[in-house]
Structure formats: structure tokens, C-alpha cells
Amino acid sequence: MNIPHKSVPIADLHREPLRHLLTALADDHLILGHRHSEWTGLGPILEEDIAFSSIAQDQMGHALGFYTLLHEHLGAPDPDIHAFTRQETEFSCCQLVEWPIGDYDFSLTRHLFFDLAAGLRMETLSLSSFKPLAQLATKIRGEVKYHMFHAKTMVNQLGNSNDETARARMQTAINRQFGLALGMFEPRLGEQILDDAQIAPIESKWRERWLEALNAVLDGSGLHIPDPDRIEPVYGGRNGYHTEYLQPLLNEMTEVFRLDPQAEW
Amino acid sequence: MSVEIQSLDPRINRLGLHTHEPGSPDTLPPHDHWGTYQVFHQKKRGDRHTAVGIVHAPGAELAMAYAKEQFGRRGETANLWVVDTRHVMALDYADQDMFATTPEKSYRDPGGYKVNDKIDAYREKMSHEHTP
Amino acid sequence: MYGGGYIPKEEARKAVVNDDPEMLAAFEERVARGEKVEPRDWMPTEYRRQLIRMIEQHAHSDIIGALPEGTWITRAPGFRRKLALMAKVQDEVGHAQLLYSAAETLGKSREAMINDLINGKSKYSNVFNYPAKTWADVAVIGFLIDAAAIVNQVANSKGSYGPYCRALERICYEESFHLKQGHSVFVYLATGTPLQRSMLQDALNRWWKPIMHFFGPSDEMSEHTLTLMKWKVKMATNDDMRQQFLSLYVPKIQELGLSLPDAELRKDPDSGKWLFGDPDWAEFFAVIRGNGPCNAERLAVRKAAEVNGAWVRKALQQADARYVTPLA
């Protein structure tokens, strides 16, 4: 992702809220890209393996884009140091992305939930008054369009399958992670300030659009979402509270890098 | 005897595999990997679509999703087509002799119409006739 | 990635020649003229059998080859290396897809090929039965094993079977990216901290033997081998390819001040040929028979991937589905 290396002036009032937003986006994409990459070479069929690996690489590329914005405009360390040296509590990813890959039904459903949200986020952020973010979001949008084509096709066809077990697996996967998915929209610190400045909307606006879009995607698939008002969103991730899965993931991800973080790898 | 596999790959360890998984099917049934679609790739607008290979897919939509990454993950792509292999009729190579004499049929080619010699001769002749 | 020149003796003995002599003569003339053979052409029985065996093994090598490097996917240090390794392993899966497709045009289904792989009936390159113990192994595999594979694949891409040549053309192009990224990791480690350098030297020491085995033992110049060379199925001898590899890459290892664990390795100034110590062919044969350090794991993992994905494939299957041999 090529981001013009030019820092633009940011009002003091916006700096912290913007840092929270970009770190959440960066960490979400990094951790999910990492999880998705666990399928590479082990997917259900060669063609799907290749497609899913591209999606994993895209997520990783998007993460790099967000870390680069943090580095260039908000004084964060360089992306490798930022991503590969922090502890669990310093991460602000949502808990949805931390969970192990499970079976393919779990990973596919998470891919649908996450990319549907990412698509909506990028659509709004491409109009952000913070121009570097608007540019990055515009670039990401096309890639997410493909992710959604893939996710929609797979989930719809599995939902409409003649195979009862497959339909049940998909419905279970949806039910199991729905609260986690709602956790993607945990309110961020200072989100109203960014909304007022037309940098980024508050999370509840995205949540509302996501629910609408999700119902539209699943329409005709035979699958349905639980009543969102009866499901407790799993919050905490944005404030550094994570599942038992994140720290082991980080230990693994940084195993080589930590041998010598100053070395060039 | 079945032993738990201790891999150097943490991803593999999470699968919890054994060397001889009891009861797991040893063979894929016929057609388990679906049918095939022929993929046609267009690099730039204005170019022709070119046959680049096949993907295995259960239907056209997934064939397209798979073709996009298997044949479009590098370089430029403007457009893709996918066609169910069952819908393509191909000539047999044994019938290549149907084309054997085609290159000889000069009356179909621009090169088969060379008249400059005639024009030159005519002009030569006319110039003599007008010389007093 | 592949090193498939080696044809076991028992395979060669299976060759039975009972093809129509006129058709055979026409076929051999076509190949001698440098024309390609296409899927639905008449071809000698043994030509088809050897090509299926070879392309299938090549495909298996790529799908199994995704595993040793895949070992480090979740641990690659830094974004650039992580993205590159993900893309590289993905390419290996992609190459398997292209190669299985080429083999399918000869009339063997992908399911049958994968069954033969997971049942141990069909082989793949021995080199992938060795473990990738540290991050430096990614450098050695990406640089040297891909380099060896390129030597082999460039030779094969000039063979006589159209679909295989077309697949190899694209594969060679992508392998050149692998070689570059492998060389980059290799050079960073070689010129890095003492720890990085010692990791690399250790990996090089461990991989050198399997690399020397990569092209297989010297070919027996039997009538069978000569026929396969005439048919442009086998394009170069194992020894020639090994010599070409050593000439190209030993200097690139030595220029970085790294050593190779073979005291006898040197270029003979008179013949221009590389001389080397006994590469331990007994071990090569033991690994082919299934007794390498990772044979059991590699097959179990491949089988698990197929078994775990079965429900997805079955659920997406259309009722009217019917298999036909792909065109090209």
C-alpha cells in the first residue's frame, strides 16, 4: 500500500481519538489476516485455498496501511515495531478476530461478518475529512468488494445446500459468533469528536448499517441472524481486554522477530 | 500404530493429527473436487480474452471467484470469463488435416492479388506509344 | 518446486511397447519436428503413462512443498516477510492446481491423483520430507530449492506435451519471484547479526544433503531413458541438471563467506565439472520408501486437509454435476 509520506496537520483535539480509530482498524486487520493465513496450504480445495490466502494477504496489507498512517501522522513507531513488539493489553482489536480458526464454517462466517463491516467502514472513510485516511480507504474498498463477493457466494450456497449438516453448521457458526461480531462496534474513546469533525462516524452508526446489510446478504440463504437486542455484544477488545487466545497468538507471531527486534530480517 | 503428530508447525499441532487417523476415509469419491470451468483472461481493455486454464468449481459464481485469484493475482486484469467445460465443443486434433490446404488458397489472401507488374508493363507500353 | 528426473527401475520395467507402428512413427516425427503434442492427440501408451506419473508427482511436490515453508507462515518476522511468505506458499498451491489440471488432460482425475498421493502410491520430491527447523530454513528453501526447481522446470518447459509446457511457462515466471525473495532472506541473514548468520549456516548444513539428492542419482542410460528423451518427456540428465545448479549457485553461497558441509566439493579445472563427496544415496532411497523424517506427517496433513474440507465440497456440489476431461 503506497501512502504519500507527508504528514498533514491534525488538530490536538482529534489526535487521541484518531489514534484509537486507526489502532483499532490496524489491529483488527492484522490479527484476522494472521488467523486467515493459518489456512494457507490446508484449505478445503486448492482453488478455495488460493482465494482465501489472497484475502488473508489483503487483510495484512490493510493493517500495514493503517500502521503506516499511525507512524507518519501520529508519531507511532514504524509498522514492524508497532505490530511485532506490543503486549496483549496494548492491542485494541475486537475479540472476534482473536478466536482460533476453528472449522471452515467458523472462519467463513467470521470472514463474512468482518468484511461486511470493513466494506461499510471503507465506504464512509473514503469520504473522511482526514485525507490520508480517505485515500487509503478508497484503495482498500476494491479489495473488500472481492472479499464480499467471495463471502456472499460461499455463505449463500452453503446456506442453500441440499446437505442438511452443512446448513446446520453454518447456522451454528452464525449463532456462536454473533455476540463477538457485535463487539466489532464497541464504542471508541472520543468517537463523537471524530464524528463531529467528519473524520469517522460513531460505531453505533456503522453497527446499524451492518445489521441492515447483513440481513440483505442472508436474505434467501436460508440462514438468519439472532435478534441483536437479545444478544450481549462482546466488548473489551478496544480497551485492551482480550480472550485467552490473543497472547499465545502474539507469542507465536513475534517468535522470530523477538530474537532481535533491532536486526534486519 | 497411530501416534500423535508433533509438528514444528504450530498450525499443524492445533489440528491434533495422528499418523494413521482411524476411521477416516482413505479415498476421495469421484467428482469430489467438482467439475471444471475454462477461464478466459483479458489483460487490458481493447485486448482479446485469452484462454489461460481451468478452475474446479461447483458453479459459475465460484468459478469466477476462483479464477480471479488463480489467474488474476499478478499483473493487470481488465476482465474475466468462465465457461463450463461441458459447454465447449472442441475439434479433434486428428481433424487438423481439414485445414491442410487453407494456406494454399491464395485467392482468399491480399497477397494473392499482385497487379503491380501489370501496371508497370502498361505504363511502359503507353509511354512508348506516346513517343513520337 | 520439483526434482522429478528420477525414474525408478521397476517403473521402467513396466514399459510395454504394443503401439501401432504407423501411429508411433507419425508421433515421433511430430515430436522430432519440434511440434507440441496436445491432449486429444494419439500418443504412445508409455508416453501417456510417464507424463501422468511425472506431472502428477510434480503437482504433489507443490502441494506438499507448501508445508515445510508453511511451518513459518505464522512466525515470519515483519510485514514484508510475512506477506512474501504467504504469497509464496499460495503460489505453490497455485502451481499444484495448474499441474493437476495439466495431468487431468491426459485422462486421470484430480481425485484419483490425490488418492494416490495420500495412500502413498504416488511419490513427490524427497526434499519436502525434511523439516524446516528455523526461520533460516525458509531462506534455504526459498533460495536454493527453488533455484534447483527452476533448473528442472526450465528444462521440462521445452518438452513435447503442450499443456505441461504452458503450465511450466507460468510456473517458471512465478518461481523467479520465489528465488528473488528467497535470496533476499538468505542475504539478510548472511550479512546480519552473528545469530542470524549462524542460523543460516546451520540450515545450510542440514539442507545440503537433500539438495544434492534433489535431481536424483545418475540416470541409467537404458533404452527406456533414451526413448523418453527422444519423446521429449525427459529433457536433461539428472547429472547435467545437478552440474548446472552447482555452477550457478555454489559461487553465490561462497561469495557470502558461508561454507558447505562437503569437504570434497570443488570444480575440477580440467573437466569444468563439479566434484563432490558421496551424497548418501542409501538415505535417498530410504526417504523415497517413506522413511524420511517427515513423510508420515506430510501425508497425514494432506489427508487431513482433504478430509476436513470434504463437507464443504460435498455441500456445494450441484445435483447435475458431471465430470468431463478439461480441454487444455
A35 has pLDDT over 50: yes
For chain A, list the domains and their CATH numbers: 12-259 (1.20.1260.10)
| B85/C326 touch (CB, cutoff 8 Å), yes or no | yes
Mutate to test the interface with A, among C67, C74, C82 (most CBs of A within 10 A): C82
**pLDDT above 70 covers what percent of chain A?**
98
Asked if C79's CB is within 8 angstroms of A79's CB, the reply is yes
DSSP letters of A71-113? Answer: HHHH-PPPHHHHHHH--GGG----GGGGS---SHHHHHHHHHH
Q: Is A46 on the interface with B (CB under 8 A)?
A: yes
Under the banding of pLDDT at 50, 70 and 90, the label for residue B1 is: low
Interface mutation target, options B27, B40, B50, B88, chain C, most CBs of C under 10 Å? B27
Q: How high is the mean pLDDT of chain A? A: 96
pLDDT value at residue C81: 97
Q: How much is the pLDDT for B25? A: 54
Render pLDDT for A47-68 as a digit per residue (tens, 0 to 9).
999 999 999 999 999 999 999 9
Hey, where are the domains in chain C?
9-302
Cβ separation C81–A265 shorter than 8 A: yes
pLDDT at B23: 47
Q: Kindly list the domain boundaries of chain B, sorted by start residue.
A: 34-129
**Residue contact B90–C73, C-beta within 8 A:** no
Task: Using a CB–CB cutoff of 8 Å, tell me whether A265 touches chain C.
Answer: yes
Query: Would you tell me which residues 93-132 of chain A have a C-beta closer than 8 angstroms to some C-beta of chain B?
Result: 100
The pLDDT score that the predictor gives to residue C321 is: 80
The rounded average pLDDT for each run of 10 residues, N- to C-terminus, in chain C (328 residues) is 57 68 95 96 94 96 97 98 97 98 97 94 95 98 96 95 97 94 97 98 98 93 88 94 97 97 96 95 94 94 95 93 85
Which residue does chain B place closest to A57, by CA atoms?
B73
Q: Give this prediction's pTM.
A: 0.94
User: Could you report how far apart the first and last alpha carbons of chain B are, in Å?
Assistant: 113
Interface test with A, best of C86, C133, C141 (most A CBs within 10 A): C86
**Cβ-defined contact of C297 to B56 (cutoff 8 Å):** no
Looking at chain A, the whole-number percentage of residues with pLDDT higher than 90 is 96
pLDDT at res. C3: 52
Section A203-232 average pLDDT: 97
Which of B61, B62, B69 lies at the smallest CB-CB distance from A50? B69
Residues of C within 8 A of A166 (CB-CB) are 311-312, 314-315
The residues near C254 (Cβ < 8 Å, ≥ 6 apart) are C260
CATH architecture type of domain C9-302: Up-down Bundle (1.20)
The pairs formed by A54-59 with CB atoms below 8 angstroms and a separation of 24 or more are A54/B69, A54/B73, A54/C90, A55/A111, A55/A115, A55/A146, A55/A147, A55/A150, A56/C86, A57/A33, A57/C83, A57/C86, A57/C87, A57/C90, A58/A33, A58/A143, A58/A144, A58/A147, A59/A29, A59/A30, A59/A32, A59/A33
Class of the B34-129 domain? alpha beta
Mean pLDDT value across residues A206-228: 97
Which chain A residues are closer than 8 Å to C94 by Cβ?
46, 50
Q: Which residues, in sequence order, are bridge partners of residue C37?
A: C161
Is a pLDDT exceeding 70 seen at residue A2?
A: no
Provide mean pLDDT across the span A87-110. Answer: 97
String of DSSP letters for C12-71 = HHH------HHHHHHHHHHHHTTPPB-TTS---HHHHHHHHHHHHHHHHHHHHHHHHHHT
Residues of A in contact with B55 (CB under 8 A): 47
- What is the pLDDT averaged over residues B25-51? 93
pLDDT of residue C116: 95
